[in-house]
Chains A and B, each alone.
Chain A
């Protein structure tokens, strides 16, 4: 028979607990927004959180790095741009097709790429991302070239999804949903296998884990996360340029994961929030944007290698997912 405190402890340890404060913040936040501009910033935070979450599954749990993940954001973004405009596909269908295409692409390139380790893996994923960007830049007939192309808005019969506050709620729910999926995945046998791979591939293999297959699975999932984020990004901007998949964006995603904390779901949100909000606060120093971004990246990697959320958790003595 469980006592009440035992039950409370079990509940405390439930995997979705970290999301409760997050959901509360998301609910209260709009009350503090003085203008639509703040909704937009928050929406961007959710979008990048989704991409960072996916990448975190790959980096934080499976221990595989990708320096080209923005490439999949590009696939998602151009899917919702090209589908409706050039092929007459409904935006929502294009959205799903983009995610499916990203998954297939990840499946095809993942097998050879994930055989590599360390520098080699970093460089191969980087090369893959840059190649996608080069394609988006050069196939001007389809993508509008370096100047990009407009993205049609989502319409239902005669209602158009335009208000940024509506986007806020859609993206908030999408983000929480992605977090729930991620947390469930981590607690599944696959999640445990991934953590085993992270600690020691050899030991994992000895235990009978199909290492290559598990790595590939998480790579595909993380690609879908990035693709979904990319589609949202294009839809909310109403425009897409090859920058969406650029090298700098991939690095930004990695920085979000590491800054928030590898392996921390809440961390991905915190990391994205910092790196999305920080440049907004620095617009007065617009000229210095790159210098500051570079310096932040270095400082984080040198002094905050464990990430904000795990460092805080260690200070507070709690355990955090």
Chain B
């Protein structure tokens, strides 16, 4: 039982990060139909910039804020310089552009930072809290609580503000949104920026637990995408549920089956979902039979 609880805790922690990556994915996908494979690099940048500003003597909380701002700017730049000029390109071309951006950001991080693993101090120390024979780090609670808060804030923004309505309108029909006076370029740009900020915050919060390095982004992006597929592409609730479920699957697979095949779980999930129920748990059914 204690073992089960322990796997659940670690699954929830990783799952919260996958969920945040997946939410970022969904926001961008809904606004622009772009599958953004650079999403994981936002998480990497959030962690790495904070760490290296910290090394340079900036107090960690301030460094974290600057890191989130820098990453937001990177997200905006990705849209303006990478996606907007190729607006009419096919889905696959856009995917390759974001993969190019991801390789580029990783390459730049490799030059500016280094190739080692780094960590950050945890917010409330690192003495584990013991629950039912399993232990949970205070930082894990912080990650879970923040993920919940971010998702709620995002929901409030989308559902309760005029800008949020504009996002919904843009994702429903870009042309119609333009006709009613919405500046869709600004809206899509804002979605890239918000999505980057969410990724960066996830990066800052999770670094004390999982460590970070210049190359953590690719796998995170792929797993975040697996979470999106599991939940149903385009569904925000699906992204959160998919992320948490994927985290749990991984933790149980690592604990009960084989630790070395932990990373395979996400891809098995992608394939299984695509073959068995391509609409995911919360998505709309769109696949065409051949």
Contacts and interface: CB of A to CB of B under 8 A. Distances in A.
Interface in B77-108: 82, 85-86, 89, 91-93, 95-97, 99-108
A295 B81 CA distance: 11
A305 B290 CA distance: 29
Nearest to A59: B92
A273 interface: no
A120 B287 contact: yes
A134 B253 CA distance: 15
A112 B268 CA distance: 14
Contact of A298 (B100, B263, B264, B278): B100
B103 A293 contact: yes
A301 B274 CA distance: 27
Contact of A254 (B96, B103, B287): B96
Interface string A284-295: 000111111111
Most B CB within 10 A of own CB, among A251, A290, A296, A301: A301
Contacts of A180: none
A305 B107 contact: no
A292 B107 CA distance: 8
B103 A297 contact: yes
Interface of B is mostly: helix
B111 interface: yes
Contact of B111 (A116, A291, A302): A291
A211 interface: yes
B287 A247 contact: no
Interface string A111-136: 01111111110111011101100110
B267 interface: yes
Interface of A is mostly: helix
Interface string B124-142: 0000000000000000000
B22 interface: no
A248 B103 contact: yes
Contact of A115 (B91, B222, B225, B290): B290
Interface size class of B (residues with CB under 8 A): 35 or more
Interface size class of A (residues with CB under 8 A): 35 or more
Contacts of B85: 302
A297 B111 CA distance: 19
B107 A131 contact: no
Given A119-B91, A287-B111, A298 B270 contact: no
Nearest to A299: B100
Most B CB within 10 A of own CB, among A123, A135, A211: A123
B225 A212 contact: no
B287 A291 contact: no
Interface in B242-290: 260-261, 263-264, 266-268, 270-271, 274-275, 278, 287-290
A50 interface: no
Interface string B218-230: 1000100110010
B288 A117 contact: yes
Contacts of B35: 119, 122-123
B110 interface: yes
A212 B263 CA distance: 31
18 contacts: A119-B95, A120-B274, A122-B35, A123-B35, A134-B267, A247-B222, A254-B96, A258-B93, A287-B111, A291-B107, A292-B107, A293-B104, A294-B100, A294-B101, A297-B96, A298-B101, A301-B96, A302-B85
Interface of A: 65, 67, 112-120, 122-124, 126-128, 130-131, 134-135, 138, 201, 211-212, 215, 247-248, 251, 254-255, 258, 287-298, 301-302, 305
- CB-based closest 7 A-B pairs: A294-B104, A290-B107, A297-B100, A291-B107, A294-B103, A298-B100, A127-B267
